[in-house]
Amino acid sequence: MTIAPLVKSVRLSTVLGGDVRLEASTYLRDGYGFVRLANQCDNHKRLGDLTDIWQPSRLTGYTVPEGKGLPFFTAGQVFEDFPRVRKWLAAPFVPQADSRFVNQDWLLLSRSGVVGNVTAVYPHHLNKVITDDLLRIEPKDQDEYGWLYAYMKTDFFKQIARASQYGHMIKHIEVAHANEFPVIMPDAATRKAIGDKAAEAVRLRGEAWKLRDGAFKLLEKEVGIACEAESPAGTCVVSLSKVIDNRSRLDADSYAGSISAVDSLVDVMEYAPLAELVEDVEELPRFKRFYGDSNVPFVGVSEVFDVNTQPTKFVYAKLIKNWERYILKPGTLVMACSGQKYGILGRALLLTENHEGMFGSNHLLRIYPDVTKIRTGYLLAFLNSPTVGRPSVVRCAYGTSVPQLSPIDIKKIRVPRLGADVESAIADLMDRSVSTSAKADQLENEATKLAQEQVDIAIEKVVSNT
């Protein structure tokens, strides 16, 4: 079957009136048509009229040892649900440092790579140097914050943003482009109703983050590690029996550094191997992915750990052997078993009803806690704790280019037993964090859907009048 090429005629005045772009994709994208339709709506405004849009100057940072400089987030980390600082920059070489911090009343818009993605600013973004790859969006009227957030989350807005992108390998947009993006403005009451939902979702996420942080702090206090400390330098003497028990690994970071401090504390505590506390730790086999226009959303290992997981691909599930095993189910813990030690490798997540029915990557270990022996919330808090659980997980990684985790090693991790009362207190905090975050995702999805409906109504009026 021969597929007819996409053909469209474009006025010369249209080409000369823009950025004099001659690539056909500029005019064949859906976003190009959306912009023209939106600009014909009676109730539209420019994004630049509603907000102040700017970006800090480009930054060439100089890295320093952990904790010795200014903490830095890349664009990808800003969109993660639980980002960990991977890079610290020398403060004297960060020009205009104050302009690189963000305010919780702002929105951030990706301008490089995958452009047009928006996020709110959450507590864990504060007091961090945020990359210049994110445009700063400051609403001039805070009453419009929620509506702008919901509108900019719609597929309609993403297509508009991507209609302005330029670049061959890496796509970009500039402040001047963002200023011209049209914003559909329904009546004030509708904007407020939708905006209130979106703003509440943002507020709940901040609350969930604080609850999770409280769980970590309580765990660290009971174990005996008060805060994330520097990895101790120097040498470490390890017995041969310990090396043999650790599958004969000779890499120093399996024994020295932050994990050495954790081991010394757990050695004198009551603990249990993770294998005794779970029904199973399952690693699913690799499979060939058949992407297409199906009704089964696929999530990769990185997408699962983003705020409000939104699949961008769909897979023909029934072409994959034992496809039912890959479908995500609420109540299961998943752990990233492929990636970088400084990244998402080893990060754990409790699946909720928002993940149900998604087709999960084989790079996610499935962990099934035995709820008669340990509460899921406590196990989740331990595994994700930056100072206790994470060093215990990452020490198990093997491989150079792309480190991996194996169920064999994960099952050997020693989980501190702190008594029923303390573990329940930690689990309660973590369970509330997970449920609050899930509620926030649902509210945000509702607000985005309602905003898209308002856009569709406005566009339909334009189309029917032409």
Domain limits, the chain = 19-185, 207-428
Q: What is the DSSP letter of 2?
A: P
Query: How many CB atoms sit inside 10 A of residue 100's CB?
Result: 21
231, 212, 264, 189: which is closest to 383 by C-alpha? 212
**Do strands 118-120 and 107-110 pair parallel, antiparallel, or not at all (unpaired)?**
antiparallel
Q: What is the pLDDT of residue 229?
A: 44
User: What's the rounded Cα separation, in Å, for the pair 33 and 160?
Assistant: 9
Q: What is the pLDDT of residue 234?
A: 56
**Token pair in block for residue 338:** 């492929």
Q: What is the pLDDT of residue 274?
A: 97
User: What's the rounded Cα separation, in Å, for the pair 328 and 356?
Assistant: 5
- Contact between 118 and 130 (Cβ < 8 Å): no
Q: What is the pLDDT of residue 184?
A: 96
Kindly give, in sequence order, each residue whose CB lies less than 8 Å from that of residue 466, ignoring residues fewer than 6 positions away.
Answer: none
Q: Does residue 46 come out as left (phi exceeding 0), alpha (psi in the -120 to 50 range) or beta?
A: beta
Task: Show the low-confidence residues of the chain (pLDDT under 50).
Answer: 1, 228-231
What is the CATH class of 207-428? Answer: alpha beta
Q: What is the pLDDT of the chain when averaged over all its residues?
A: 90
Looking up tokens 């009227």, which residue turns up?
141
Q: What CATH architecture does domain 19-185 belong to?
A: Alpha-Beta Complex (3.90)
User: What's the rounded Cα separation, in Å, for the pair 351 and 332?
Assistant: 6
**Token pair in block for residue 446:** 């509702």
Strand partners, 281: 367
Q: Do domains 19-185 and 207-428 have the same CATH topology?
A: yes
**Residue 290: strand, helix, or coil:** coil
SS (H, E, C) 131-151: CCCEEEEEECCHHHHHHHHHH
Kindly give, in sequence order, each residue whose CB lies less than 8 Å from that of residue 252, ignoring residues fewer than 6 positions away.
Answer: 236
pTM: 0.89
User: What's the rounded Cα separation, in Å, for the pair 403 and 405?
Assistant: 7
205, 185, 187: which is closest to 82 by C-alpha? 205
Query: What percent of the chain shows pLDDT beyond 70?
Result: 92
The model's pLDDT over 68-93, given as tens digits with 9 standing for 90+, comes to 899 999 999 999 998 989 999 999 99
User: What's the rounded Cα separation, in Å, for the pair 4 and 6?
Assistant: 7
Q: What is the pLDDT of residue 259?
A: 82
**Token pair in block for residue 117:** 């993605």
31, 41, 36, 47: which is closest to 14 by C-alpha? 36
